[in-house]
Amino acid sequence: MTRTSPGHAGDHAPGDPRDGTGATPPGATGPGRAPRPGPVPPGGSAPPEAAPPGRAAPPEAAPPEAAPPPEAGRGRAPSGEAAPPPEAPPVTPAPPPRPAPPGRAPMAPGRLPVLGHALRLSRGPIAFLESLRDVGPVVRVDLGGWPLHVLTEPALIHTVLVGEAHAYGRGRIFEKLRPLFGNGIATTDGAFHRKQRRLMQPAFQRTRVSRYAELMCREADAMAAGWTAGQEVRVDREMRRFALSAVAGMIFSGDVDQPAVREVHRSFPIILEGMLVRTVMPKAFDRLPIPLNRRFDAAAARLRAIIDEVVAAYGPEDRGRDDLISLLLASTDPETGETMSAEQVRDELITILFGGTETASTTLAWIFHELARHPEVEERVHAEVDAVVGDRPVTPADLPALTYTKRVFEESLRLHSPLLFTRRPLTPVTLGGVGIPAGAEIAYSPYALHRDPELFPDPTAFDTERWDGTDPHRAVPRLESFIPFGAGQHKCIGDAFAVAEILTAVASVARRWRLTPVPGHTVKEVPAGIPLPDALPMVVTARS
């Protein structure tokens, strides 16, 4: 399968749509990469092998003998006229060729008895998922009784997420999140999901996001103002606190000191730890009476209970507040006239709380790590912030002008993307010539996709110029090749909020400080929903 992709149907990477292509021309393969094997035909038979040395090839069949010429005088017309050509016998049209039945995907190498690939995936999930692109466009992975078909081609992923999205459900990873998220927008499908998305969409319109950004600016400025020159800070923890405060303020009318917000700060790390483990473990693991499960269950119960209390306390006089709770309680489906129940509002609030915090806080931590590793990039960010913002606090009106800072964000998000998502076909499907039964698990890795050298040359380099778009000799990556927020009907509803959140924090810190690595500390990437830095201590340095 070549690197061509169908046209886009509405999904887009953060920011303005782009028309460039980073895909390899049809028929080409990546540098040093052999052509990818196709699916194994039904029955598993391999193509015929060449005759070994010293062994004669089987003789070729002799060509059929030519028909003898007609006998003299036969078929000649009277009076010396030339004989008319003989009538051709009727020809029965050949039946149309039958389409080849779908084949089987090649199995990923390194499969062990009983465990399958679970050991390889647990010991090095990032390297394992990246290795699959050399096996084929669709690869079978066995996780100890949990079979997966992993897609590595952007065109196939686009088909599942956009082109034929109606034919797929969420899949196992999202089901494992339901004990916490309930029937929120992240875990549901079909008509119910579409209804919830319509109800929530007004809360994430551009004008609303601009209002939320005012709170983001205040929180980011307070964070940066609270640091002192020479102080060592855990940037990963600081960014999580900032992101939680920004999202909680959107939910709770900007009151980030109320008990519900304090409970969010307390519970979030515990719940996140449990979520990461539960998504890859069998269902029976969730019921084991181990400390991890007890902490997770208690924290999830506290969080759901306190949000229930907040939602229940909203009376008619509170419905006019400019916060997410008020908007969801007052929302009406334009197609059906339905509203949300209090339980559904709670589920959506928890979904937004976690979705709006994890991506933003992790991406911010990686941005400051990359800026410290690339001083020339940091200098350009500082110059842009100085020109746009100056000595005053950042405002929402500044964000569209931070174009280079936006490219830094996009490149950081490309290098540090979500690890794995799943989908489940509702009926039998064929992808890349591979037959996949209904109910099977399909997975794709944005992380591996965004580091594919056929799509992103020199993929491990931090190169902001790949997003510039002004060089006629260098195309911007195609939309279906860059999907950090998903695509199609399940695309992240809060992506514009996340972009504003991240740009605000970067600009607010950059106008005051430089963050430099702590000497002797090596940052390691920890596999997670979005791979995390294990710890990111940095020294706050005043800009000279």
Describe the chain by its helix, strand, coil percentages, rounded to 5: 45, 10, 45
Per-residue H/E/C for 5-55: CCCCCCCCCCCCCCCCCCCCCCCCCCCCCCCCCCCECCCCCCCCCCCCCCC
pLDDT category of residue 85 using cuts at 50, 70 and 90? low
Mean pLDDT (the chain) is 83
Domain 102-175+418-471 and domain 183-415+484-514 have a common topology: no
Q: Give the mean pLDDT of 270-290.
A: 78
- How does pLDDT run across 186-216, given as a tens digit for each residue? 999 999 999 999 999 999 999 999 999 999 9
Q: Which of 79-83, 259-263, 286-290, 508-512 has the lowest mean pLDDT?
A: 79-83
CATH code at 102-175+418-471 = 3.30.43.20
Residue 275's nearest CA partner among 175, 352, 185 is 175
Average the pLDDT over each of 80-84, 313-317, 364-368, 540-544 and give the range with the smallest value: 80-84
CATH of domain 183-415+484-514: 1.10.630.10
pTM of the model: 0.80
**Collapsed DSSP state (helix, strand, coil) of residue 104:** strand
- Helix H or strand E segment including 540: strand 537-542
**514 in Cβ contact with 231 (< 8 Å):** no
C-alpha 440/C-alpha 172 separation (Å) is: 10
Q: How far is CA 501 from CA 213, 315, 396, in A?
A: 7, 30, 10
* Distances, alpha carbon 466 to alpha carbons 104, 457, 458, in Å: 36, 9, 10
Report the DSSP pairing between strands 441-444 and 147-151.
parallel
Q: Is 492 marked within a binding site?
A: yes
What pLDDT is stored for residue 510 in this prediction?
98
Q: Give the pLDDT score at 14.
A: 41
Listed residue (484, 344, 485, 427) closest to 169, CA to CA:
427
Give the pLDDT band of residue 8 (cuts 50, 70, 90).
very low
- Mark residue 116 as left, alpha or beta (left: phi above 0; alpha: psi -120 to 50; beta: remaining): left
Higher pLDDT, 200 or 54: 200
Residue 18 has pLDDT above 60, yes or no: no
In sign, the C-alpha dihedral spanning 456, 457, 463, 469 is negative
d(CA 296, CA 504): 32
All structural domains of the chain with their residue ranges: 102-175+418-471, 183-415+484-514
Residue-wise pLDDT tens digits, 115-136 = 899 888 888 889 999 999 999 9
How does residue 28 score in pLDDT terms, banded at 50, 70 and 90? very low
Q: How far apart are CA 107 and CA 121, in angstroms?
A: 14
Mean pLDDT of 173-181: 84
